[in-house]
Amino acid sequence: MKNIKVLGSGCRNCEVTANVIAQAAKEAGVEIQLEKITDMAEILGYGVMSTPGVVLDGKVVHAGGIPGPDQVRTWVRD
């Protein structure tokens, strides 16, 4: 199971990012643990200065905007 965290204040882009990830995982038949992190100190701890950010299994893989569907599919499959 992949552990994915969406980092952000809870803005619309953060919600869309979380939904895109959940949908991609569902379509791929991959089980994930999806967590939304809104604590700014924790977000900055990952070095993310522009949200939404995405952390996959402890590693920042995206920051600053909604990731594209192809990019998300790659994350959940690999």
DSSP string, 6-52: EESSS-HHHHHHHHHHHHHHHHHT--EEEEEE--HHHHHHTT--SSS
Point out the residues that are catalytic: 11, 14
